[in-house]
Structures are given as structure tokens and as C-alpha cells.
Amino acid sequence: MAKTAAIENKIDDASFSCKKFVSFLIEDETYGISVLKVHEIIAMTEITEVPKTLDYIKGVINLRGKVVPVIDLRLRFKMEERQYDCYTVIIIADTGGRMIGMIVDSVSDVLNIPEEKIQQTVHFSSGIEPDFIESIAYADNNLVIILNVENIVSIEELDKPGNP
Amino acid sequence: MKIIKIKEETFGIKHARDFYNSLKDELIDNDEVVLDFAGVKRIDLSIAQIIIAAGRSARKNKKTIKLKSVSENLKYQMIIGGLKL
Amino acid sequence: MSEIDIRSIFKTEAKEIIENLESDVVRLEESSEDEKIINRIFRYFHTLKGSSGIAGLTHVYEFSHLLENLLDDVRSGHVEVTDSLIDLIFDSIDWMKGAIFSEDGTEVSENNREKLSSRIYAFTAGGREVITKETDEIKIAREPVESGAKYYNIKAFFKEDIFESGIDPLMIIEDLMSMGRVVSNRVIKKKLPSFESMDPECCYFGWEIVLETESAVTEIKDVFLFVEEENNITIEDETSNYRNKGSEEKLPLEKKIGEIMVDKGILTDKELNEVVTIQDKEGDRIGDIVVKKGYATKDDVNIALIEQERLKKKIELQTVRVDTIKLDNLLNLLGEIVIGQSTLTRIADEIDNEYGDELKRALYGINRTTREFQEQIMSIRMIPIGPTFNQFRRFVRDSAHLLGKEIKLIIEGGETELDKTVIEKIGDPLKHMIRNSIDHGIEPPEERVAAGKNRSGEIILRAYHQEGNVFIEIVDDGRGIDIEKVREKAIHLKYIEPDEEIAREKLLSFLFMPGFSTAEKVGDLSGRGVGMDVVKTNIDSLRGSVEIKSEKGSGSTVKIKLPLTLAIIDSMLVRIGKNRYIIPLLSVVETIRPAKDDIKTIEGKGEVLLYRGEFITLVRLYDVLGIDAEYHNPWEALVVIAESEDRRLGLLIDDMPGQQQIVIKSLDNYITKSRAISGASILGDGTVALIIDIFGLIEELGG
């Protein structure tokens, strides 16, 4: 009976003071993105390369008739590139109408994390740029790095000079 | 300025030629001609035509024709006849 | 329809009207006697009055009513067109803009409106009751249609000597009008000769009256009892035109009966001209004259009349206002269909039997229909540039006044049609460049006179079609650009070496570099100024290009090239290694496999290809795009001869899988900094291919 109560409790949490995150893995680290920022998750697909672009922009894909740019999060985080495999997925993030694909090693779960387990102030050192991190959370005894999607996808517009 | 006083109660085709001639003369001599309709109750189409044609000619020569003391009834007739008041 | 809907429809309509209005008022300032312009301005205010009333903007309604009256006085010659009148009209338009377009319509100053109103009264007052004026039209407010009431269109033309019989037409018309409510009354005065040559005892006038009445047609005929015989009286029941139409105005007859008869082959043009001349003289009905002349039978005339009636009804139903978003959606859907078709065609190609052929034939039919469908949608999206040009009339006038300059704006090719998206986005860049011409191009009058020019400067806005593109030019006859100053600046900014030989066009193109013209005082360049780089970016995003030509002392020309449509183009698919790219078919001259001997390397020019007697640059696309190719020897590969403007290039490719229509998808600016890539498209198999822009490629290669 105690177990049932625990589950009920969890459901309550979910509807009142929890936040939902899509969690995924890069290397051995677990990252999370607010589900509100995730448009959908698709399997790896054919990417059309684009010339003269930033190293972490892998190219563009066809998302049901829309041409969407795709970045490799490993490269964005200045990590080693890794061969794509059957677990590799593209998370399509939607921030204020701008769609962008993010390649990650694999998606693990959708997490309900109670707000009190999310630390807004970050005193945390990791390999990636502090601007990309929004907060740190603990879920299922795991540390989850919650990412600031806006900062990750906000890419400076490339100059198209009038003359070389 | 010249004021032409019209005395006829019913001012129409019978007076048209005289009216036309005197108006023509006055428009040669004066820059401004005032038609006083004080006693007039009706006009007919011939009069309306003369006033309109005279008005056009006056404007062309930078002269003015003014209408004075036009009764409400008369005004209605003039409007139907194509004058604007 | 909700009130909000009506408001927003009104706003759209008002915006158009006000743009036209402003440009016509500027025209009026230039030719103050032009009755057509005055009439148009009058009608704009009249329309604004009507629709603002419906939209519930009472203050706008009342104000436009005042302006309508003012313009009516101008029309009748009572009020003269003076500078202060033009200023008053412009000030009034400004007030109306505020009242109509500000978020909260009540924001606009009531005080201001009163001031303007009293200025308007100052023009119209005084003379109103005493000076003779004439009118053709008496407008009486319309009320809802009463059931049972009929609408008659009555035309009455009297014989010239009618006064002799003691009949006063005015009295007949008065009687007629007393029978019901007068919807409209036109007094036809065209036969009235000049005052000096008129016969005061002759009848010249006729009437065209629309009457709403419960009376039967026979009762109306009775009014004309004494005159019906020898005069030209017609009574037509037009009730059907007035019913169920709410507050809409009656539509004018779009097609005259004579024209219909010509269309139907009943009359020749020559006969029609003759008949119309007779009609002008005698005032008979066209149909009657035609029959009298023996050009057609009464039956023919009746057929034409039925046709006329039918057209009248059709015209009422033919125009629909469509939200442009719906149009965009339609185009997007069509784009998806085109992609789907490509997929099907690819599948059909893979079916290697008779079913494959049958499928291909069926697809061919669908392709044709889709293409036509697309052309239709495109034609809806195409709108003339004229209104966009015209809205600058006021801008030029006001700016010129402010700077104490005299500038005439000349518009050419206003009927040139462009995609609506282009039109929407071209306004700002145009304004920028026109402002440059006004601020820095055109000199003050004294300076112009001293230079032996006309006091008044000229700015020409010109649009035309050429080779599947639209060109827009902004030409001024001002002081032009000092090329030496540009050179100094370019050296200063280290774009070029101090003693570098550089072509004039190339130097001028530096003006589009960010910060080039704004880094120092704009006047230093004695010509172009603020933010030309922004202009270029805007035009680039429309897949267009821009260039400047200028002679010191005699003016500048900015030439903008824009694509006809933005959405769907014919293209050639090319393969390089495992990548596929799209080249717009308009840029492709032909595809060849060159002979080994035709390839040369020329010092300073790099690799060239002898093509039809001239050496053209050979571009190894795989190098430019940074990819692997199958062939590296041009004589093994294929070369696409492409051109942009006057320049030709040979592009090395592996293969050319086919031609197809593609839907252009734009790429965000951050995706690539290559100017050679202008967008992307989705191919039949669902992959994305990049579009190679030849003009951009040439620029990327260094001019």
C-alpha cells in the first residue's frame, strides 16, 4: 500500500510543482531541455551539407517540407565528434518560431523534476560554456544539466560581404 | 458690382431672352453681378440653364455671379435644375 | 461580420485610398487645373466618408464629409487650388491617418481636428449661399430598401423646342421626384453651349434619375404623358440591382451596349463610332440608332441588352477580397503538390514496364495542369508597382520643401507587375535610395542654376520587365558621386591598395559595404549616404541585386534587379560527387562536354574555357563548395555554361540528372556565408538541395 501512495504522490507532483524535461546523453553526461522548447525528436536522417558555414552546423534537413538547419551538439560543446549510430537522434528545438535540429548521442527519457530539485544558481564546472547551462537538477540519483536552448541556438549571423 | 432685381413671381421662358440679354451685358461691364430673387416664387428650366451657362462663363473670365434672397422652394427647383446652393 | 473585421477591412482599404490620395494631391499641386485629378480626390474623400461611417469611425466620417464638401467646391471652381489649400489637404490627410491607424483611434487630438475644420470652413464659407455653383449629382442618403418599393432608372431628354409648347421640363422632373425617394439625380448638361452662343429659349438639359417608389411604372409614365411622343424618355426597372446589397453603391455599367455589340460582331468599330456621334448629337438610344441605320435588327439589339444585363450581374459577383495569407497558404500547398509530383515522376522512372509509361503519361497531364494552376496563383499574387511608386510623391514633395529644394518626381512603368511579397519588401529600400537622391543627389536650386542645370531637379522612378526579371531604377540628375572620394575612402578602409587599378563599377560597389558610407560624414561622399548596406541586404533577401552608376555632376542611377516570382522556379538539377545542387534554368545557357584543347590556364585569370570564340572562367564547383567530385578533368565531366547579366561562366559538374520545377525555401542568414548559395529546395526523394546563384557565385569569385 505504501508503494501506491508513493506513486500517487508522484502524480501529484507532476501536475503541480514539477517541470518536464527531455533528457538525452552526450558522452556519459545527462542533459535536459524543457519539453516546451522541443518540437519533436526524429531519427537521424540525410543531411545536406552546406558550404562555408560554422563547423558545428552539419547542414540542413527536410522536416516535412521545411528546410531546417542542424547542429551537432558535441561540436557545439567543443567535444570530440563521434560516428553517428542507430541511437543518434535529432531533437528539433523550437524557440520562438525558429526551428533548429540538435544532434545528440541518444535520448533517454522525459523527466518530471520537482522544482525544489532544480538549482537555479549554477556553481558548477563542466566542459561546456556556462552560457549554455540554465540550471542543474537531480533526478533518479542522477545529475542532469538543464540547457539554455536559446543560447545554444542563437548563432551569430554570418557576414555575407559584398566583396570578398 | 451690379444688382439685377427680378420682379416676376413666376420667372420663366417668357422672360428668358430679356434676362439672358441683360445678364450678358452686365457681365461685360461688371466683375460681379448679383441676381436678387426676392419676389420670385418659381423659375423654369430656361432660367436655370441661363444661370448655369452664365456662371461657367463668369468663372472663366474671373467674374462672379451671386444669387440673393432665394426662397427654400426656389432653391429646391434650382437644385433639380442642376444648380448647387 | 464582427466590428473588428469591418475595422480591419476598412483600414486596409483606407491605406490604399490614402496612398492614392496623397499621390494625387501632389499631382494636383503640379497641375492645379486638372479636373480629372480633382474629381478623383473628391471621390477618395467620398469613399473614405462612406466606409468610415460603416466602420463606425464617426469622427473620421464627419471630417471626411467636410473635405468632400471642400473638394466639391474646388470641383465647381468656387475654391481655387492654392498652396495653402494643398497644405490644408495634406494636414487633413495626416489627421485622418492618425485617426484611422493609431492603435487607439481616440488618441488623435480633437483640438487639432477643430483647427483643421475651421481652416476648411474658411475656404468654403461665405460664398456658399450666394455664389452660383452647379452640380450634376444630388446625393441623398440611402435608407434600407422598403419592401414593395421599386427602383426605376429614368432617363429624360427633351426636344430643344419644348418650351414653345409651354411645357417646363423642370416641373415634370419636380413632379417625378415627388413620387418617391430620389436615389440619385444626374443633370446631363453636356449639350449646353457656352453662355455667349446659347439660345435662351432652347432646352439643353436632360436627366438621369434613380427613383425609389411604390408607384407602378404606368404612374411614372403618366408624368411624361404630354411629352412622351417627341422626346426621349426611358424608364427601366432596376430593382434587382438595388435589392440585397446592403449599403453598397450601385455598380456602374462596366460595359456599354455598343461595345457588347462590337464584341458580338453585330457592329464594327467604325459603325459604332458613327452611331455614338449620332447619339451625342441627337440623344437617341444607341440601340435605336443602330436599328434605324440598318446595322442590326431589333433582335440583335435585344441579345446585346441581355448580355449587358448578364455582365452587370456577373461583375457584381466577380471581385472578392482575399486575405493575402490565404493566398500564401495556397501557394505553399501547391509547393507541396509540386514536390509530390516530382516524387511520383521519380517512381515512374523506376518502373520499367508499360505501367511505368502509362503513369508517366498521366503525370505529364497533371504536370501541365499544375503548371497552369501555378501561373494562375502567381498572377493573383502579381500586383502593379504603381501604388508603391506613387506613395513617394508626397515623400519627395515634403522632403524637398523641407530642404528648400525643387524636385520633380517622374514615374515610369507603374503598370509593371511584381510578386506581392517583393512589392511589400521593396518599399523601404526604395525610400532609402530616394532619400539619398533628395538629400545628397539633387542640389539646391541656386547651385543647379550655377551649374547650368534646370532649377528643379528630377528623380525618375522607373520599372520594367526584361528577361524574366523586373528592373527598378532610381535616376536623379543631381551632383552625382565623386569617385575619387570613394577611392580615398576605400583606401582608408583598406579595401584596396593606394595605387591599385580598380574598375569604376567595382569602386562604386564599395558603397554597399557596411559602414562604408556611414563611417564619416555622409556629405563627404557627395552622393550616397546612410545605410546602403542595409539596402543591399534587403534586396539580396529578395534574390535581387543592385548596382550604382554615377557621373560626377550629372547624377546617379541605382538599378535594382528582382526576380519575377519568389516562390517557384524552373531549375536544372546537377550532381557533384554525392551532392546534388539546383541551378535556376534562367541562368543556364547550355551544358557541354568541352574538348581537352579548349581548357587553358591564363596568367591572372586562372582556368578558362574556350566557348564560342571567347574565353570564359571555368569554375570547379567542388572547390568552391568544398566537396568531393567524381571527375576532375573537364573533358570527362560536364560543363554548364551559365550567365548572369553580361558575364558567363563554365561550371564543372559530374552529371545532370534532369530539370524540374522547384519550390524555393529561404535559408537563414547564419546557415552559410557563401554568396553562391541563395536558398534550398526539397527534391522528389525528400532530400534538400541547395540552390546555386550564379550572380552570387560571380561575386564570390571576386567580380
Q: Which domains are assigned to chain B?
A: 2-80 (3.30.750.24)
Nearest CA in chain C to B18: C200
Between A46 and A5, the more confident residue is A46
Contacts of C625 in chain A (CB under 8 A): 51
Candidates C60, C222, C217; CA nearest to C152 is C217
Contacts of C198 in chain B (CB under 8 A): 20, 49-50, 53
Phi and psi at C557, nearest 5°, equal -130, 125
The distance of C672 to chain A (nearest Cα, Å) reads 5
Query: Given the C-alpha cell 552625382, which residue does it identify?
Result: C480
Judged against a pLDDT cut of 90, whether residue A59 lies above it is answered with: yes
Contact C457, C448 (CB under 8 A): yes
Per-residue model confidence (pLDDT) at position C134: 55
Which of B19, B52, B57 is nearest residue C134 as measured by Cβ atoms? B52
Determine the structural domain holding residue A43 and report its residue range.
16-153
Candidates A149, A94, A161, A92; CA nearest to C669 is A161
Q: Is residue A11 included in any domain, yes or no?
A: no
The distance of A159 to chain C (nearest Cα, Å) reads 6
Candidates C595, C593, C573; CA nearest to C585 is C573
Nearest CA in chain C to A68: C667
Q: Is residue A161 included in any domain, yes or no?
A: no
On whether any CB of chain A is under 8 Å from the CB of C578, the answer is: no
Contacts of C209 in chain B (CB under 8 A): none
Q: Is residue A138 included in any domain, yes or no?
A: yes
Contact B83, B51 (CB under 8 A): yes
Note whether C673 contacts A65, CB cutoff 8 Å.
no
pLDDT band, very low/low/confident/very high, at B20 (cuts 50, 70, 90) = very high
The distance of A158 to chain C (nearest Cα, Å) reads 5
The distance of A154 to chain C (nearest Cα, Å) reads 9
SS3 C293: helix
Per-residue model confidence (pLDDT) at position A70: 94
Contact B26, B18 (CB under 8 A): no
Stated as kind and residue range, the H or E segment containing C47 is helix C35-54
Note whether B50 contacts C198, CB cutoff 8 Å.
yes
Contact C620, C668 (CB under 8 A): no
For Cα atoms C114, C118, C120, give the angle at the middle one, nearest 5 degrees.
Answer: 115
The Cα–Cα gap between C660 and C658 comes to: 7
Average pLDDT per 10 consecutive residues for chain C, totaling 703 residues:
64 86 87 84 85 77 85 82 87 88 63 82 56 48 50 86 82 81 81 89 89 79 74 80 46 58 70 73 72 74 70 56 76 78 84 88 88 80 85 87 89 86 85 87 91 92 82 92 83 81 81 63 40 79 83 89 74 92 90 90 85 91 91 92 86 89 78 85 84 86 70
Contacts of B70 in chain C (CB under 8 A): 129
Stated as kind and residue range, the H or E segment containing B16 is helix B13-29
Per-residue model confidence (pLDDT) at position C135: 54
Q: What is the CATH number of the domain that holds A85?
A: 2.40.50.180
Q: Is residue A149 included in any domain, yes or no?
A: yes
Q: How many domains does chain A have?
A: 1
Note whether B53 contacts C174, CB cutoff 8 Å.
no
Q: Is residue A113 included in any domain, yes or no?
A: yes
Contact C269, C298 (CB under 8 A): no
- Most B CBs within 10 A among C137, C170, C191, hence the mutation to make, goes to C170
Set of cell numbers at residue A79: 567535444
SS3 letters for C592-609?
ECCCHHHEEEECCCEEEE
Contact A40, A92 (CB under 8 A): yes
Contact C477, C555 (CB under 8 A): yes
Contacts of C76 in chain B (CB under 8 A): 84
Segment B59-65 mean pLDDT = 85
A with B: 3 or more CB pairs under 8 Å?
no
The distance of B8 to chain C (nearest Cα, Å) reads 17
Give C125's contacts (C-beta < 8 A, 6+ positions apart). none
Residues of C contacting chain B (CB within 8 angstroms): 72, 76-77, 127-136, 138, 163, 168-171, 173-174, 177, 185, 187, 189, 192-196, 198, 200-201, 203-205
Candidates C469, C488, C472; CA nearest to C557 is C472
Q: What is the DSSP letter of C423?
A: H
Judged against a pLDDT cut of 90, whether residue A22 lies above it is answered with: yes
Note whether C627 contacts A51, CB cutoff 8 Å.
yes
Per-residue model confidence (pLDDT) at position A28: 85
The distance of C190 to chain B (nearest Cα, Å) reads 11
Note whether C168 contacts B12, CB cutoff 8 Å.
yes
Contacts of B1 in chain C (CB under 8 A): none
The Cα–Cα gap between A103 and A42 comes to: 10
Other C-beta atoms closer than 10 Å to the C-beta of C181 total 16
Set of cell numbers at residue C470: 523586373
Which of B19, B68, B82 is nearest residue C189 as measured by Cβ atoms? B82
Note whether B16 contacts C201, CB cutoff 8 Å.
yes
Per-residue model confidence (pLDDT) at position A8: 42
Beta bridge partners of C555: C551
Which of C76, C128, C170 is nearest residue B44 as measured by Cβ atoms? C170
Nearest CA in chain A to C670: A157
Per-residue model confidence (pLDDT) at position C246: 38
Which of B17, B49, B57 is nearest residue C204 as measured by Cβ atoms? B49
Q: Is residue A39 included in any domain, yes or no?
A: yes
The Cα–Cα gap between A47 and C557 comes to: 44
The distance of C168 to chain B (nearest Cα, Å) reads 6
Per-residue model confidence (pLDDT) at position A48: 94
Note whether C205 contacts B50, CB cutoff 8 Å.
no
Contact C528, C436 (CB under 8 A): yes
If phi > 0 it is left, if psi is from -120 to 50 it is alpha, else beta; for residue C488 that is alpha
State the amino acid at position C9 in one-letter form.
Answer: I
Per-residue model confidence (pLDDT) at position C283: 63
Q: What is the DSSP letter of C225?
A: T
Which of C136, C194, C195 is nearest residue B82 as measured by Cβ atoms? C136
Contact C288, C299 (CB under 8 A): no
Q: Is residue A95 included in any domain, yes or no?
A: yes
Other C-beta atoms closer than 10 Å to the C-beta of C200 total 21
Nearest CA in chain C to B33: C131
Which of A50, A57, A157 is nearest residue C677 as measured by Cβ atoms? A50
- List chains touching C (3+ CB pairs under 8 A): A, B
Q: Is residue A73 included in any domain, yes or no?
A: yes
Give B28's contacts (C-beta < 8 A, 6+ positions apart). none
Contact B48, B77 (CB under 8 A): yes
Note whether A51 contacts C702, CB cutoff 8 Å.
no
The Cα–Cα gap between C167 and C580 comes to: 88
Note whether C163 contacts B51, CB cutoff 8 Å.
no
Cα atoms in the Cβ-side hemisphere of radius 13 Å centred on C258: 17
SS3 letters for A13-78?
HHHHCEEEEEEEEECCEEEEEEHHHEEEEEECCCCECCCCCCCCEEEEEEECCEEEEEEEHHHHCC
Contacts of A159 in chain C (CB under 8 A): 673
Judged against a pLDDT cut of 70, whether residue A58 lies above it is answered with: yes
Under 8 Å CB pairs connecting chains B and C tally to 113
Write out the catalytic residue numbers of C: 46, 68, 436
Candidates C563, C528, C525; CA nearest to C547 is C528
Contacts of C676 in chain A (CB under 8 A): 51
B with C: 3 or more CB pairs under 8 Å?
yes
If phi > 0 it is left, if psi is from -120 to 50 it is alpha, else beta; for residue B69 that is left
